[in-house]
Amino acid sequence: MLTSRQKLILKAIIEAYVRDAQPVGSKALTQMPYLRFSSATLRYDMAQLEELGYLEKTHTSSGRVPSEKGYRYYVEHLVTRDEDVVDSFPLIDEVFLKHSMAKEQAIQEAIALLSDLTNYTTLAIGPSASQSTIQKIDFIPFSESEAVILIVTNQGHVQHQNITIPEGMKINDLKEVIKTLDDLLRGRFIEDASEILKASFAKNEIKSFMDYQTQLIQSFIHAFQKFAEENFYLSGVTNVFDQPEFHNVRHIKNFVEMLDRRELVKLIGDHEGLSIRFGSDLKLIPMENCTVISVPYRISEQEHGTIAVLGPTRMEYSKVIPLVEYIASNLGKLYKK
């Protein structure tokens, strides 16, 4: 249990280190108006905080830097939202007003603005249709050799997949197969559709025509996989490279590869509110010195998305948290229009 004075000291050290990226000593603390304690008292409490694991001592300075445990305690108990952040809200409002009917563009511009305002990497995951159920499967022939499969969900999402009709294949035969698939999958969850198709195909239940069935089933599986993929938006990838934590070339390479593989998507928190995850939570290299702040936005019981900021553990939490929360709340409203 930290004393009130220790909490003040920990908060002061973290916010000074976030600002300057330099170890903080007792002399710097004595100059802060709300820490009117003697140097000896401050050094004692700093030593206690270090012993408790909230601070770490560097090899190159007599000052201390926050540990991950210190940051975690800070965001859970000590951080306050920066009131000056509200000055940026009109810029965010402008994005959503300008693109009230173009949702994807609104998301892209919103996270680009968030990246500019924070100077960190930002990302958003749009709502996925994987929890929707299949309402209808149909197809539209474009010519004797080309057609498009249409899959409609109960939430109004539509996915299409172009297919090639083999020479000699009759449209009525193709219609019959599509009807069989519609009967098989109607009312089923999108996320289950691929496995249902594979199982039915393996049991030879879909055998309306032998030579074409593999290609058709694969086309359907591909369409369902596209449905299940999250809409992924990314901005400011190079922003974090300005931070001293990313001056290592290997870290930069690993970071870019991680984003390219979208490994972070499945690790950016749950759907229950503000989530702040540190390096030990993420277990991804080079995430040791990184933090992900994410906030979900909900459209319906089945549909939700997430907006997130990725930066160094030495992040401006008091500024980032209210910005992410405000944009997430606007995204939820946008999808309800």
The partner residues of 290 in beta bridges, in order of sequence, read 312
* Cβ atoms of residues 115 and 121 within 8 Å: yes
Average pLDDT over residues 155-161: 68
The Cα 312–Cα 308 span in angstroms is 13
Q: At what angle do helices 317-336 and 89-98 cross, to 10 degrees?
A: 20
Burial class of residue 156 in the structure, from the number of CB atoms within 10 Å of its CB (0-12 exposed, 13-18 middle, 19+ buried): exposed
The Cα 275–Cα 120 span in angstroms is 17
Average pLDDT over residues 48-65: 88
* CATH number of the structural domain 83-128+231-336: 3.30.450.40
Highest-scoring range by mean pLDDT, 63-77, 99-113, 204-218, 223-237? 63-77
Average pLDDT over residues 329-335: 78
Burial annotation 234-245 (CB, 10 A radius, 16+ → b, else e): bbbbebbeebeb
Task: For the chain, give every residue range classified as CATH 1.10.10.10.
Answer: 4-78
Does pLDDT of 101 surpass 90? no
Q: 134-228 has which fold?
A: Enolase-like; domain 1 (3.30.390)
Q: Could you read off the pLDDT of 259-317 as tens digits, one per residue? A: 765 666 666 755 578 999 888 887 765 567 889 999 988 766 666 788 999 988 999 99
Task: For the chain, give every residue range classified as CATH 3.30.450.40.
Answer: 83-128+231-336
How far from the centroid of its chain's Cα atoms is residue 309's Cα?
8
* Cβ atoms of residues 15 and 9 within 8 Å: no
Tell me which of 3.40.710.10, 1.10.10.10, 2.60.120.580, 3.50.50.60 is the CATH number of domain 4-78: 1.10.10.10
The Cα 52–Cα 27 span in angstroms is 21
